[in-house]
Chain A
Amino acid sequence: MRRYGLRTFALGYLVVILLAPVAVIFYRAFEHGFWPAWHAVTTPDAKHAFLLTIELALIAVPLNTVFGVIMALLIVRHRFPGVGFVNAVVDLPLALSPVVVGFSLLLLYGRQGWFGHWLIAHGYRVVFAMPGMVLATIFVSLPFVVREVVPVLREIGTDQEAAASTLGSSGWQTFRRITLPAIRWAVGYGVVLTTARALGEFGAVSVVSGRIVGQTETLTIHVQAAYEGFDLVGAYAASVVLALLAVATLVLMTLLKPKEETR
Chain B
Amino acid sequence: MWQAGQGGWSSFWDAVSSPEAVAALKLSLTVSVLVALINAVTGTAIAWVLVRDRFRGQSLVNSVIDLPFALPTIVAGLTLLTLYGPNSPVGIDVAFTRTAVLMALLFVTLPFVVRTVQPVLLELDQEMEQAAASLGAGSFAVFRRIVFPNLLPAILSGVAMAFARAIGEFGSVVLISGNLPFKTEVASVFIFGRIESNDSVAAAAVSVLLLFISLGVLLAIGALRHYATRFDHA
**How far, in Å, is B213 (CB) from chain A's closest CB?**
9
Determine if A193 is an interface residue (Cβ-Cβ < 8 Å). yes
Partner of A207, one of B59, B164, B195: B195
A246 and B70 form a contact (CB under 8 A): yes
Partner of A103, one of B45, B110, B203, B219: B203
**How far, in Å, is B74 (CB) from chain A's closest CB?**
5
**How far, in Å, is B56 (CB) from chain A's closest CB?**
12
Contacts of A7 in B (CB 8 A): 49, 53, 55
Contacts of B70 in A (CB 8 A): 196, 200, 246-247, 249-250, 253
A97 and B72 form a contact (CB under 8 A): no
Determine if A167 is an interface residue (Cβ-Cβ < 8 Å). no
Determine if B97 is an interface residue (Cβ-Cβ < 8 Å). no
Q: Is the interface of B mostly helix, strand, loop or mixed?
A: helix
Determine if B134 is an interface residue (Cβ-Cβ < 8 Å). no
A197–B210 Cα gap in the complex (Å)?
21
Count of CB-CB pairs between chains A and B under 8 Å? 211
Contacts of B218 in A (CB 8 A): 88, 91-92, 95
**How far, in Å, is B190 (CB) from chain A's closest CB?**
9
A96–B167 Cα gap in the complex (Å)?
9
Q: Which residue of A lies closest to B2 (CB)?
A: A104
B80 and A21 form a contact (CB under 8 A): yes
**How far, in Å, is B184 (CB) from chain A's closest CB?**
16
**How far, in Å, is B58 (CB) from chain A's closest CB?**
6
User: Considering the complex, which residues of chain B in the window 19-51 have a beta carbon less than 8 Å from any beta carbon of chain A?
Assistant: 42, 45-46, 48-51
User: Considering the complex, which residues of chain B in the window 78-116 have a beta carbon less than 8 Å from any beta carbon of chain A?
Assistant: 78-80, 82-84, 89-90, 103, 106-107, 110
User: Considering the complex, which residues of chain A in the window 147-192 have a beta carbon less than 8 Å from any beta carbon of chain B?
Assistant: none
Contacts of A6 in B (CB 8 A): 45, 48-49, 53
A104–B58 Cα gap in the complex (Å)?
42
Q: Is the interface of A mostly helix, strand, loop or mixed?
A: helix
Contacts of B177 in A (CB 8 A): none
Contacts of A247 in B (CB 8 A): 70
A236 and B78 form a contact (CB under 8 A): yes
Determine if B155 is an interface residue (Cβ-Cβ < 8 Å). no
Given known pairs A200-B73, A250-B63, the reply for A94 and B191 (CB within 8 Å) is no
Given known pairs A24-B83, A196-B70, A200-B73, the reply for A108 and B1 (CB within 8 Å) is yes
Partner of B78, one of A9, A19, A106, A227: A227
Partner of B170, one of A21, A84, A202, A253: A202
A223–B79 Cα gap in the complex (Å)?
11
**How far, in Å, is A249 (CB) from chain B's closest CB?**
4
User: Considering the complex, which residues of chain A in the window 89-120 have a beta carbon less than 8 Å from any beta carbon of chain B?
Assistant: 91-92, 94-100, 103-104, 106-108, 114
Determine if A28 is an interface residue (Cβ-Cβ < 8 Å). yes
Contacts of B200 in A (CB 8 A): 107
Contacts of A250 in B (CB 8 A): 63-64, 66-67, 70
Determine if A124 is an interface residue (Cβ-Cβ < 8 Å). no
Contacts of B53 in A (CB 8 A): 3, 6-7
Given known pairs A7-B55, A18-B110, A107-B3, the reply for A97 and B49 (CB within 8 Å) is no
A111–B216 Cα gap in the complex (Å)?
31
Determine if B75 is an interface residue (Cβ-Cβ < 8 Å). yes
Contacts of B204 in A (CB 8 A): 103, 107
Determine if A220 is an interface residue (Cβ-Cβ < 8 Å). yes
A-B contact sample (7 more), CB < 8 A, given A7-B53, A10-B46, A242-B72:
A18-B110, A88-B222, A94-B165, A97-B210, A243-B71, A254-B59, A263-B122
| Chain A residues close to B by CB (< 8 Å) | 2-3, 6-7, 9-11, 13-14, 17-22, 24-25, 27-28, 84, 88, 91-92, 94-100, 103-104, 106-108, 114, 193, 196-197, 199-203, 206-207, 220-221, 223-224, 227, 235-236, 239, 242-243, 246-247, 249-251, 253-254, 259-263
| Chain B residues close to A by CB (< 8 Å) | 1-4, 42, 45-46, 48-55, 58-59, 61-76, 78-80, 82-84, 89-90, 103, 106-107, 110, 118-119, 122, 139, 161, 164-165, 167-171, 174-175, 187-189, 191-192, 195, 200, 203-204, 207, 210-211, 214-215, 217-219, 221-222
- Give 8 pairs: A residue, B residue, CB < 8 Å, sorted on A: A18-B67, A18-B110, A99-B192, A199-B72, A220-B171, A253-B66, A262-B62, A263-B122
